[in-house]
Structure 1
């Protein structure tokens, strides 16, 4: 497979996953802002922070929902916005149209101009519907991949890109919880703390999985962290994502007859995750773990580009 084709497929998958994850992040921010608490809470700024967009708004003023809708949903010039991600995913897909099935292309192409119809005010009125639309588009694309795409190199690069983006956003969503709670350490274990942790589960479609693994309604923060980081069966956990990355990188290594730094990084990270015990990450410091893991995911992305000669 040509390096340019592989790169387009890799980034197409990342942009689709990023659009959905940003939608889930906005949804979680909404859930957190309805909680009673100190007037200076800045849940929306924490959402901007984990998307790398906090510098777009002056640090002296509070961030409002309207800012989030403009920057993370509608702004075509912001590479982290949903609109930008969906446009880029479509552009990547168009560049490799012959490598996609008809259903995959239709999932990318269907109603792709929809967000052009909205300004901030109308998007806010229809925000729940728009978030559901983004999640449905991503699910439709993944369904088309699952049922129609050949399990060839293109599929490997697509799965690696999607899993890497998903791992990164799971880590960033966990960091939203950290940033929101940081100024209010006195509420750890309280009602608002409980609601924030359940909001993380809902944002990652993990509430039912949590019940299956742990049962009951005891939403322990360390258990939630373990589910989202260490559980090898939950598809949005860091461990599951790195398992997928490693498996598809191994397939590529067999096809090309060589391994690179990316393979070593994925193997190392997966081994570290599987050596961890329950509760260990939370006890040692969730924020520190998340920051270190984000460094690894960013390095791995660069190493994949180097190994397979992305431009």
Structure 2
């Protein structure tokens, strides 16, 4: 596959996944902010940090209010990670790849972008923010489902999956890190109703509340949430699950192209850490330090994938 085509398909899915993750994070932040809980910092500042958009937002000036943050993370055209910018980027990459993706997949992402262009913050506030966040998530599910249900399982599909999984792993690690390291409740709230609601909201933000109940059948505890989202291979959005599929795809590409890529070796090393690690070892090292390293290594892997497969002649 041409490196340019691989790059378009890879980023098409990264943008779709990022838009969905942004909607999930904003939805949970909005619901948690309505509680007025004492978390040690502004929930909306935390949302900017999760999105990696705190510095660009600060350049605008002004405080992190619900309206200003939602506008910046959902609608701002000058924020490349906003929902609007991500859907636009996904649509532009899909348009460039009309010959590689099915008509159904193109129509799905094109319809999502056309509808997004009609939306404004005032309109979604009038209609209900929850409905907008659900719409973004549903459009992402629809596009991904149509693509997976109609596309041949060739290299085009594999690069699309790589984009989804790299972005998903990054989002899971960021959300978990911010809850542990930044949104720590005051000592009087640890183990209380507010703390329980926050952990429940985090699980719902990654569609894992019911999975947690099915596996642990007990009250929600931080260590078990961390174990679920980092080490459980049977949890669709866990780091372990993401890297299991990333390695499987990259090993196939290594055999197919008959080249020994450094990115494949890095992915295999990261998977081994997840496969044989334990939550006690992670906590002993420091969960924040572990997650920060995981985010950095995921970024490094993304850069190496681009170098190995998308920047070649």
Give the corresponding residue for 1:49: 49
Unaligned runs of 5+ in 2: none
Contact 1:156 1:251 (C-alpha < 8 Å) held by counterparts: no
Stretches of structure 1 that go unaligned for 5 or more consecutive residues are: none
Counterpart CA distance in 2 for 1:286 and 1:180 is 12
> Paired residue for 1:200, among 194, 199, 202?
202
Look up the match of 1:250. Answer: 251
Q: Note closer, same or farther for the CA distance 1:277–1:175 as it changes in structure 2 (3 Å cut).
A: closer
TM-superposed CA distance for 1:188, in Å, is 2.6
Q: Return 151-160 or 37-46, whichever deviates more.
A: 37-46
Decide which of 171, 174, 177 is 2:173's aligned counterpart. 171
Larger deviation, residues 170-179 vs 267-276: 170-179
- How far did residue 116 of structure 1 move? 2.8
State the Cα distance separating 1:138 from its structure 2 match.
Answer: 0.8
Range with greater deviation from structure 2 (117-126 or 222-231): 117-126
**Could you tell me whether the CA contact under 8 Å between 1:50 and 1:172 is conserved in 2?**
yes
What do the CA deviations read for 1:79-99 (whole angstroms, capped 9, x no partner)? 110000000000001001110
Aligned length: 310
Q: 2: CA distance between counterparts of 1:144 and 1:83? A: 21
Give 1:179 deviation, angstroms. Answer: 4.6
Inter-partner Cα distance in structure 1 for 2:4 and 2:267: 23
CA drift at 1:51: 1.0
**Distance (whole Å) between structure 2 residues aligned to residue 211 and residue 17 of structure 1:** 25
Over the residues paired in the alignment, what is the CA RMSD in angstroms?
Answer: 1.9
Q: How does 1:93-172 map to 2 (within 5 A)?
A: 93-125=94-126, 126-172=128-174
Cα displacement (A) at 1:32: 1.8
The residue correspondences of 1:50-69 to structure 2 (distance < 5 A) are: 50-58=50-58, 62-69=63-70
Q: Deviations over 1:250-302 (max 9, x none)?
A: 11111101121110111000000111124432343221111000010000001
- Contact 1:42/1:180 (8 A) holds in 2: no
Residue 262 of structure 1 is matched in structure 2 by: 263
Instruction: Report the Cα distance in structure 1 between the residues aligned to 2:185 and 2:279, rounded to whole angstroms.
Output: 27
TM-score by length of 2: 0.93
242-251 vs 119-128, which moves further? 119-128
Give the structure 2 partner of residue 275 of structure 1: 276
Alpha-carbon distance between aligned partners in 2 of 1:102 and 1:183, rounded to the nearest angstrom: 49
Question: What SS class does the counterpart of residue 76 from structure 1 fall into?
Answer: coil
* Contact persistence 2:87–2:112 (CA under 8 A): no
C-alpha distance in structure 2 between counterparts of 1:39 and 1:173, whole Å: 15
Name the residue aligned to 2:11: 11
Give the TM-score taking structure 1 as reference length.
Answer: 0.94
Preserved CA contact (<8 Å) 2:38 2:185? no
Verify the 8 A CA contact 1:100 1:149 in the aligned structure 2.
Answer: yes
Instruction: Find the aligned partners of 1:278 and 1:162 in 2 and give their Cα distance.
Output: 25
Query: Relative to 1, partners in 2 of residues 1:136 and 1:183: Cα closer, same or farther, differing over 3 Å?
Result: closer
**Structure 2 residue 228 is matched with structure 1 residue 227:** yes
Shift of 1:49: 1.0
**Equivalent in the alignment of 2:78:** 77
Matches of 1:57 and 1:100 in 2, distance apart? Answer: 35
- The answer to whether the 8 Å contact 1:22/1:81 transfers is yes
1:124-155 CA-to-partner distances (Å, cap 9, x unmatched) read 23311111111111111111122111111111
Over 3 Å counting, the alpha-carbon distance change for 1:141 and 1:57 in structure 2 is closer
Shift in Å at residue 165 of structure 1? 0.3
